[in-house]
Amino acid sequence: MELEVRVDKLERENRRIKRLGYTTLIVAGLVIALGQARPQQPEVIRATKFVLVDENGQQRATLGIENGGPALVLEDTSGRGVVQLQVPKIPDKPSLYLADPRESARVELAMTMNGPVLHFTDKTGTRVRLAANELNAPLAAIYDDEGKQLFKISAKEE
């Protein structure tokens, strides 16, 4: 009789160990399966500014809100903006700027309230202005470094 009690006890212990083993395997399998699942990529990332840095951690570009509208600025290795694309809140028209900060030269292409305008500015500050539909007439003008008009030609008679 003692043998039957011992065998019965061993069988109960064996069943308990099997259940514990199966439960452990199921939990371990779930942990591994959940660990392999990839997180969902967001469909939209919202921010007011993104900064792009090079391999040395130096800021090289920004995408953000400036003057109430979106702006993209690309910078040279010295951190100076050389290309800027923006749509300021006022006048809500796009502008593109190209700059050579070392030479203080600049090119500006902008949509204004009166139409498109192209400016070329050299390192001395002399500026050439070409404008289409400037007050209902095309315009070409040259200004000195103080903003004084040196030359102007327009299809509109004054």
pTM, full prediction: 0.67
Q: How do beta strands 95-100 and 81-86 pair?
A: antiparallel
Looking at residues 11-15, what average pLDDT do you find? Answer: 90
Question: What mean pLDDT, rounded, does the chain reach?
Answer: 88
Quick: pLDDT tens for 72-81. 999 998 889 9
Q: How many CB atoms lie within 10 A of CB 117?
A: 19
**Which region among 25-34, 35-44, 113-122, 147-156 has the lowest average model confidence (pLDDT)?**
35-44
In three-state form (DSSP H/G/I as H, E/B as E, the rest C), the secondary structure along 118-130 is EEEECCCCCEEEE
pLDDT(1) > 70: no
Q: Over 90: is that where the pLDDT of 71 sits?
A: yes
d(CA 118, CA 109): 5
pLDDT digits (tens, 9 = 90+) for 121-149: 999 999 999 998 767 788 899 999 999 99
Tokens 């900060």 locate to 101
How confident is the model over 153-158, as a mean pLDDT? 75
First-to-last C-alpha distance (Å) of the chain: 126
CA dist., res. 117 & res. 138, Å (int)? 10
Are 130 and 115 spatial neighbours (Cβ–Cβ below 8 Å)?
A: no
Q: Which two tokens stand for residue 142?
A: 């040259």
pLDDT of residue 157: 64
Residue range 53-72: mean pLDDT, rounded: 92
